Amino acid sequence: MDSGIIVSIVTATLNERGNVLEYIDRVRKAQGKIPYEIVVVDDNSTDGTIELLERIEYDEPALRKIVNDHREGLLKSNLKGLKASKGRIKIVMDADLQHPPEVLGNIVKNMERGTDCTVMSRFVNGGTLSKRDAYRTSATSLAIGLCHVFVPQTRSLKDPISGFFAIGDRVNVPYERLFTCFGDRRGYKVLVPIIANNTDKKFAEMPYYFNNRIWGESKIGKENLLIPRYLTELSRYHSLFKESVS
């Protein structure tokens, strides 16, 4: 049955109490009259984010809340949100306001031109990063380079590890394969397996300005053993999708 929803905006939250109200307000203003929903998957926050969402959800008919009963990580939280969403265009973005909601209209327009996946990129012409230290800049470049090596299907994209992207209804997200592969382990980069599993689809990159986080701290940056975890994640994608390499 058709829900009437055109755009689903999926976001995974973890201790984002100071950002989530502004995030929802800016999404609402950006969407205008387009029928939409905001699917928030909270990864068992402990700072009051869940309680805040519970207080506002009755006054926000577009808001749908899913709460993990234990920490599952960014990958599985975003996969849960995508699987539960009803829109024919699904947009994944962060709630920390580093991804500006004001560009949502441009993303939808690009998707309606026939693009299967629109990747919001920091590294195509017109894309910019807010001021970052040399370590984080180098780490991002290294992460992209490793992604290109381990998952060659991503090499046509300059920002395949972007956490800000849209997919249309022709894109096949291999939910069960990913849930089974990762088990109780955490993953981070939901776009990478989507690219690898849809090599016959039309991808496009659009520039955006990646803002600095104003409130709170990066959760990925505080992960223990982040680099080994990331390499293990890429190795899993390499094994899962090696048959699709042309």
CB 108 within 8 A of CB 33: no
Residue 104 domain flag: yes
Which class for 33: exposed (0-12), middle (13-18), buried (19 or more C-beta within 10 A)?
exposed
Identify the band that residue 1 occupies on the pLDDT scale cut at 50, 70 and 90: very low
Residue 121 domain flag: yes
**Of 10 and 139, the one with more pLDDT:** 10
Q: Quick one: which of 135, 9, 141 has its CA closest to 63? A: 9
Residue 33 CA to residue 83 CA, distance in Å, equals 24
Q: What pLDDT is recorded for position 219?
A: 56
Average pLDDT over residues 19-46: 96
Assess whether pLDDT exceeds 70 at residue 196.
yes
Tens of pLDDT, residues 201-241: 999 999 998 887 776 666 555 555 678 899 999 999 999 99
Which of 2-11, 125-134, 147-156 comes out lowest in average pLDDT? 125-134
Range of the domain at 213: 7-244
Q: What pLDDT is recorded for position 149?
A: 97
Tens of pLDDT, residues 147-178: 999 999 999 999 999 999 999 999 999 999 99
Tens of pLDDT, residues 66-114: 999 999 999 999 999 999 999 999 999 999 999 999 999 999 999 999 9
Total structural domains in the chain?
1
Residue 176 CA to residue 179 CA, distance in Å, equals 5
Provide the CATH number for the domain around residue 37: 3.90.550.10
Assess whether pLDDT exceeds 80 at residue 35.
yes
Residue 95 domain flag: yes
Q: What pLDDT is recorded for position 180?
A: 96
Q: What pLDDT is recorded for position 48?
A: 96
Residue 142 domain flag: yes
Assess whether pLDDT exceeds 70 at residue 200.
yes
Residue 1 domain flag: no
Residue 2 domain flag: no
pTM for the model stands at 0.93
Helix intervals (H) in the chain: 20-31, 49-56, 74-84, 104-112, 134-150, 175-182, 191-196, 226-241
Write the CA distances from 112 to 169, 210, 222, integer angstroms.
Answer: 11, 24, 38
Residue 119 domain flag: yes
Neighbours of 211 (CB within 10 A): 14
Assess whether pLDDT exceeds 80 at residue 50.
yes
Residue 126 domain flag: yes
Residue 201: DSSP 8-state: S
Assess whether pLDDT exceeds 60 at residue 246.
no
